[in-house]
Structure 1
């Protein structure tokens, strides 16, 4: 039986290899869109019959070369399908408005928004295997009334998306700030250290006008970006936190961390993120019924608050969490490390140490299992991470990302940051720098190896994403993404070549892509199907 299988396989492989080395007919490999300046191929008329001369008023009719049919764009919700996923594995970039009086001349860069990101930064990220950037970014409207479009923020986001598209990655637009909410809500505990009260703004949690403007901001944003092919989702608010800050850190501080307690007292009020996000979804759907919408819960979108998110009747919503638990382990300082992984750790802050290992993580993430089972909705993790120097960081990340794989959860780690003046000072989650807290340059390290191992599973990219129901079947023994476009799989293993094709800098490579993409895709897919058939005999 084994000899039979090998014989059949050898014959098939010989045929396929022969097909690969033969030049395909020219008429079958013409580019989809002919160059306007290129004339059609000339033909020689028979000498016995002189060609007719067209009249001076009639232009000769040119027959355009045949074009290849274009696949339909894919349904972006398929990217978030947990049954066939994960399909998106990536990283966050973080940016905010620059305040020269606080930041100085270089720390955040010199632009209106910083820290800066360059095209090379995104090329490098893509070369590591990443196919998804979560853009943690200021909202398009001003933070203070009159709430209106901030064109400089919009222009900056446009440039970011263009660079990410050029690197052939998807993007999720996540708004950190907007009407009645400033960036300083995330660092309010530092009030008085490096900024004063005038920078605080959490009025969105008590100001109806600000909430109306937040709804209007997202309606405008969705309408503006709805046709952008790389935008895989809209994240409505990064880490809602009314449970802590209230409407003002100094004068309306709630500091409630028990979801039951919070919703029993403030459910249905302006403090309740559930009522605001539902309004935003209604507004977005009125202008864009297609782009996925990402929603995290209150409590900074921690997993404990996920069960308290009120699920809406909209099949384009992806619910998500930010996963940094246990913080007692993940955010240890270099000179004060009391937990290791795996090992004992006081994860509940009750003075009792528990075993922290893969089983602990599995139990924590079971909250997602219960939520998806109950509501039949997808869940993603679009922030997670661990300080690079904590004991066992690589093993911790390996277990966590492995669980994401098992559950089909898209994920984006925090963060991708290579602006040197910033990363020299803020780098505890920068996986490029290795476990030595004193090091601020890229070095080989185990944590990076773990992360890029999982990123290497990425196949689907904007350039290859199209509608094909067959790729989203759980029966496949390969990743569904491989079946989406085997040529993309080959390119993903050759990132430098991929960059050349994306950039269009090499005529030779462009010609190769035009002539061989369809053939190579067909051959690769055929080999896979024949192998499945042979070993099923």
Structure 2
């Protein structure tokens, strides 16, 4: 009797999932549909200058990441005559090859191009200041370069978005205390970042109407400055912000010197405040939440992390990550295998274990029993060239694979294992359901094969 009731629940769950996924499948922009799926993308930043290998990308995928946020240099030089730089092109191809071999989605965030210097080296005064903000010729050249990058990679099913300008920072060396002050100063200087984005987006849309475009805000895309952010008039925008708050804690060079939760300066309040999960949720990220409600667009926390391990650091990472999950935001840590600072694998083992745990938290699971159950399905969208999914569950249960007609295609026991692999190579395109079943519970998810 109990078994029959569970099966009835499972049928109802399947119907509910089919209804929601049917809408998902009707959107012919499947790349943007992934961004509309809450917290689907979670991964790490990777800089093109890192000396990484295929194994590093394979390990990132095995950790549970669904995306590599690739920091690249544009095809063209920053200064006249704005020549092509073949090394930059070759470096991008190398990273993309690693992503393809690992079956890992990737996005680009462009660090430099005509008139735009790398934001880090600009801040360190290693290079001269960017001139793109007021230079119309460089704006057109930069937009053309972004267009060329998108045109070159748009047909790659793993390429799911581009952030054209990393951390726009006009007037970064000018003193301002509030977002409103910066907004007025930009107007006074004739700097129109929204206008620059329009030039770039219009250029992209000439050759690709659907690629998701990740838009960052002024002031290094800090969360507080979304108070002055103007929405972009485009159907496939993702808004990206970065969080390095509190700066004294996150950027501390001496390990285990600072404590979280703890008291630090608040740029938003211009006072010393107690930083904890609640303060992040209701103060630091307040304007991100308001902007998300206003635009109904996906949100991506594109950078956050710790320079060195600190007291309460694991809780800090957990708090920020959970806020993302609770709000349906996508996120990427800074940075994968840097070999020095910001490298979680160089810290206490608890850091990378916490990230592995966070990557395994999926919200597309319907649990009719109310019992806590760790069940993940990775990936949830399968392309022809990538044929294996990993189903993580519990021993002594069984995975049932159904097609859209309700026919059982496979019964796979977990036995004593915590995960099983299922090869989808011979399946036709379409929607499939995975049901995990035992005598006491039933859990349902799905995957879609392109």
Q: Return the TM-score normalized by structure 2.
A: 0.76
CA–CA separation in structure 2 for the residues paired with 1:472 and 1:213: 46
- Per the alignment, residue 75 of structure 1 pairs with 30
| Cα offset, 1:512, TM superposition | 8.1
Does the alignment pair 1:397 with 2:317? yes
Higher relative contact order (CA 8 A, sep 6+): 1
Instruction: State whether residues 134 and 172 of structure 1, in contact with CA within 8 Å, keep that contact through their aligned partners in structure 2.
Output: yes
Instruction: State whether residues 44 and 332 of structure 2, in contact with CA within 8 Å, keep that contact through their aligned partners in structure 1.
Output: yes
- Per the alignment, residue 74 of structure 2 pairs with 139
- Per the alignment, residue 150 of structure 2 pairs with 222
- Per the alignment, residue 3 of structure 2 pairs with 6
- What 5-or-longer segments of structure 1 have no aligned partner? 14-70, 96-113, 246-253, 436-444, 460-470, 494-510
One of 85, 89, 96 as aligned partner of 2:38: 85
- Per the alignment, residue 245 of structure 2 pairs with 325
CA RMSD of aligned residues (A): 3.8
Instruction: State whether residues 388 and 447 of structure 1, in contact with CA within 8 Å, keep that contact through their aligned partners in structure 2.
Output: no
One of 422, 434, 445 as aligned partner of 2:347: 434
CA–CA separation in structure 2 for the residues paired with 1:131 and 1:447: 19
SS in 2 for 1:447: helix
Bigger fraction of residues in helix: 1
CA–CA separation in structure 1 for the residues paired with 2:139 and 2:107: 22
- Per the alignment, residue 513 of structure 1 pairs with 423
Q: Return the TM-score normalized by structure 1.
A: 0.65
One of 294, 302, 315 as aligned partner of 2:235: 315
CA–CA separation in structure 2 for the residues paired with 1:308 and 1:353: 23
SS in 1 for 2:260: coil
SS in 2 for 1:232: strand
SS in 2 for 1:243: coil
| Cα offset, 1:488, TM superposition | 5.6
Does the alignment pair 1:454 with 2:358? yes
Does the alignment pair 1:375 with 2:285? no
Which stretch shifts more, 264-273 or 354-363?
264-273
Instruction: State whether residues 239 and 296 of structure 1, in contact with CA within 8 Å, keep that contact through their aligned partners in structure 2.
Output: yes
- Per the alignment, residue 162 of structure 1 pairs with 97
CA–CA separation in structure 2 for the residues paired with 1:375 and 1:292: 15
SS in 1 for 2:206: helix
CA–CA separation in structure 2 for the residues paired with 1:214 and 1:485: 33
Give the direction of change, closer, same or farther, for the CA distance of 1:360–1:452 in structure 2 (3 Å limit). same
Bigger-Rg structure (1/2): 1
| Cα offset, 1:234, TM superposition | 0.6
Instruction: State whether residues 389 and 428 of structure 1, in contact with CA within 8 Å, keep that contact through their aligned partners in structure 2.
Output: no
Instruction: State whether residues 270 and 276 of structure 1, in contact with CA within 8 Å, keep that contact through their aligned partners in structure 2.
Output: no
CA–CA separation in structure 2 for the residues paired with 1:76 and 1:208: 32
Bigger fraction of residues in strand: 2
Aligned pairs for 1:408-487 within 5 A: 408-418=328-338, 423=339, 427-435=340-348, 445-457=349-361, 484=380
- Per the alignment, residue 307 of structure 2 pairs with 387
CA–CA separation in structure 1 for the residues paired with 2:379 and 2:269: 49
- Per the alignment, residue 186 of structure 1 pairs with 120
Q: Alpha-carbon deviations, 1:22-54, whole Å to 9, x = none?
A: xxxxxxxxxxxxxxxxxxxxxxxxxxxxxxxxx
- Per the alignment, residue 356 of structure 1 pairs with 275
